[in-house]
Amino acid sequence: MYDVIIIGGGPAGLTAATYLRRAEKTALVLEKNAFGGQITWSPRVENFPGFVSVSGTELGDKLLEQAMEQGAEVELDEAEAIEAIDGAFRVRCVSGESFDGRSVILATGARPRLLGVENEEALVGSGVSFCAVCDGAFYKGRRVAVCGGGNSALQDAVLLSDSCEHVTLIHRRDSFRGEVKLVETLREKENVDFMLNASVTALLGEDELRAVRVEQDGAEKEIAVDGLFVAVGHEPDHSAFASWLELDKAGYAASGENCLTKTPGLFVAGDCRSKGVRQLTTAVADGAVAALAACRWIDGQ
Ligand code: NAP
């Protein structure tokens, strides 16, 4: 029986593990994909205090190293259900393993939102990507489009413009949610075009993407591209555990300031939590808050 099982090994989950170990609680972190979470997709992080500039993978590795150095246990396994057992929790994983904990911290983060156009999922890996850091190199010297207006889309466009022949940035409004500095960097690039007030309405190509159809100001245009990078935000990734949670209108898990959900002993931290600002800094802050609240919960039992 662990003191706390943390579901999700991103910045929130790994920070929670470090804080729990500092408080001498046993902690297991379950991660289904890659430790470090979404940040591993960011080529360069320049707003994490104390790091002038660091790659997302390096930061993720450091967070993992720090949690393990403190004695946290980690497993690459996907949690698929939580059950109540005798005043504690059992977490079942897809591998068939299960782990028991006095308390659980859900730090499952968020997953990329789809555009919702036909063939989008079928073309993933054949022209459609959600990760420029992971897949950008496949499009070296080719023409690509990026869809979205947040920091992810802007960062993706900057990264791709360094190696691709041409980048079209397609955004549904005429102003950006992401940082002005990134927009300025893109405006200075000769191989970047902006398509504003524009929406991708179709993906063209059978086995491989060859073009996107875009609606702009009531007119439709075809843009020939080899790759489309979809960066239109994220959705919370906790549907397997929704029955334990109260969700807000957007589907994020509601909690108090102390990250406690409606279920005693079950806490939530990071991007899957209902809150105003989803950033690395707020994810690690949640991790610390949830861990200390879980310690108080366990000590009070
Ligand atoms: P985001 O900030 O939520 O931006 C999503 C963008 O996609 C918005 O511009 C939105 O348009 C657009 N969008 C949403 N649904 C759409 C749809 N169905 N069709 C077309 N466009 C759609 O998401 P994000 O860029 O992934 O960033 C998530 C968080 O991580 C943000 O807080 C961001 O600042 C942070 N982040 C930080 C870094 C870093 O280096 N520190 C890097 C990346 C991301 P509207 O603007 O019109 O709503």
Q: Which CATH superfamily is domain 121-230 in?
A: FAD/NAD(P)-binding domain (3.50.50.60)
Instruction: Say if ligand 1 is within 6 A of residue 18 CB.
Output: no
Instruction: Say if ligand 1 is within 6 A of residue 95 CB.
Output: no
Predicted local confidence at residue 111, as pLDDT: 87
Predicted local confidence at residue 32, as pLDDT: 96
Predicted local confidence at residue 214, as pLDDT: 98
* β-sheet with 128-129: strand ranges across: 128-129, 227-230, 143-147, 166-170, 192-195
Instruction: Say if ligand 1 is within 6 A of residue 172 CB.
Output: yes
Q: What kind of fold does domain 2-112+234-300 have according to CATH?
A: FAD/NAD(P)-binding domain (3.50.50)
CA of residue 39 to ligand 1 center, whole Å:
14
| Each residue's pLDDT tens digit, 47-96 | 899 999 999 999 999 999 999 999 999 999 999 999 999 999 999 999 99
CA of residue 14 to ligand 1 center, whole Å:
24
Task: Give the residue numbers annotated as catalytic, written as ranges.
Answer: 131, 134-135
CA of residue 105 to ligand 1 center, whole Å:
25
Rounded Cα–Cα distance for residues 37 and 208 (Å) = 28
Q: How confident is the model at residue 43 (pLDDT cuts 50, 70, 90)?
A: confident
Instruction: Say if ligand 1 is within 6 A of residue 275 CB.
Output: no
Determine which residue's CA is closest to atom 40 belonging to ligand 1: 45
Predicted local confidence at residue 100, as pLDDT: 98
Counting from 1 in the atom list of ligand 1, the atom nearest the Cα of 113 is 15
User: Please, what is the end-to-end C-alpha distance for the chain in angstroms?
Assistant: 15
Instruction: Say if ligand 1 is within 6 A of residue 230 CB.
Output: no
CA of residue 130 to ligand 1 center, whole Å:
12
Domain ranges of the chain: 2-112+234-300, 121-230
Instruction: Say if ligand 1 is within 6 A of residue 284 CB.
Output: no
| Each residue's pLDDT tens digit, 246-271 | 999 989 999 999 999 999 999 999 99
Rounded Cα–Cα distance for residues 27 and 289 (Å) = 15
Mean pLDDT for 188-213 is 97
Judge whether residue 42 has pLDDT over 80.
no
Rounded Cα–Cα distance for residues 209 and 289 (Å) = 45
Helix axes 180-187, 151-161, angle to 10 degrees: 30
Q: Ligand 1: which of 177, 271, 272, 280 to mutate, most ligand atoms within 8 Å of CB?
A: 177
CA of residue 176 to ligand 1 center, whole Å:
9
Determine which residue's CA is closest to atom 18 belonging to ligand 1: 115
Mean pLDDT for 217-245 is 94
> Residue 265 has which token pair?
């002993």
Give the CA dihedral 112, 242, 89, 74, nearest 10 degrees: 0
Mean pLDDT of the residues in the chain: 95
Instruction: Say if ligand 1 is within 6 A of residue 272 CB.
Output: no
Q: How confident is the model at residue 240 (pLDDT cuts 50, 70, 90)?
A: very high
Do 121-230 and 2-112+234-300 have the same topology in CATH? Answer: yes
Instruction: Say if ligand 1 is within 6 A of residue 150 CB.
Output: yes
Rounded Cα–Cα distance for residues 296 and 110 (Å) = 27
Determine which residue's CA is closest to atom 38 belonging to ligand 1: 151
